[in-house]
Structure formats: C-alpha cells, structure tokens
Amino acid sequence: MAASCNQGVKDETSAAKADTAWVTVLTFEKQADTLANKPVRIEGTVSHTCKHGGKRLFLVDGADSIRVKVTTGEKIVKFDESMEGSRVQVLGILKEERIDNKYLNEWEAEVKNPKGGHDAGVHTGALGHKDEDAQEKLNQINSLRAELKNSGKDHLSFFSIEAISYTVIK
C-alpha cells in the first residue's frame, strides 16, 4: 500500500470528487478539448519543476516526449524542486490557452519593444524568469504562425492543469 504526503487543500467535497474526471498523461491531449475549465485528476512522474519561482511543473508517464504542464493554483504557493522524479497525483482545473493571430502580433510587438504597453511576461513566463533571447522568441512566434496557418483553424489550443491540490506518492 502506498503512503502519501498531502500537499495542498484538503477541503474537497464528495460532489467535487464525483464530478472530477480522471485523465492520464498519455491521453491528456485527446481528452483536453472536452474537459476545458472542468476539474480533473491526473497522476504522473515530475520530470521538471521551474527553478525560478516554482510556479510550474511537468508530468510524464513512460514517454518523456509527452509532458503535461501543471501550474500552481490560488492555494499553492510553489512546487518544491525536490519533487523532481517523484510520482504525484494532482487535482486541478484543466485550462486552455488559445493562441491566435492577435496574440502572436501582441507577443511579437512585446519582443521587439519590451518596454511597450503590453504586459511583460504574459507570453514567456513569470517576470524575472530567464528566458530565450529575442531571436529565439521571434522564431517561436513564426513557428506558431505557420502551425496556425496549417491547422486551418482560427486558433491553436494549449492545455495545462491549474493545481488545486497535489499528493506526493511515496
């Protein structure tokens, strides 16, 4: 039997448990469209925690090429770096970030003029987070533009989980 160390909110009601969908790392992208803004539970191995603030971690499960991003929620200050390599179960809300041409234009303007009116850090991570140089960001923007064009849609969707609570499985 696995022992666990609960980290986070314990006030989960029976109704919330009943309405929570289980997702897996391997099927996350396939399930995400239908679960946006809904509670989900996922289990995986922490492959990385953000060293600058601990606001993000990434879960894998067997295939490191498939990663699920988990961000801290209101009641979680940060994820501890020592969680890397640990198996965790996360309860959270599945979030969708939509990237469209307007978003890409704003991001490009921000990269070209970092002191502009656009909210710095919105697209590339938290303020103070060491990030790619401007050319790498512009390359990423152009790559996303090509992906958007090839998709035939008016936006790209990127999914993550905003954690409500998590448990480290020992």
pTM equals 0.75
Q: Which tens digit of pLDDT belongs to each residue from 92-109?
A: 999 999 999 999 999 999
73-109 core/surface letters (b: 16 or more CB in 10 A; e: else): beebeebeeebeebbbbbbbbbbeeebeeebbebbbe
Per DSSP, the three-state class of 81 is helix
- Going from the N-terminus, what domains does the chain have, and what CATH number goes with each? 4-97+157-169 (2.40.50.140), 101-154 (no CATH)
The proportion of the chain whose per-residue pLDDT surpasses 90, expressed as a percent, equals 58
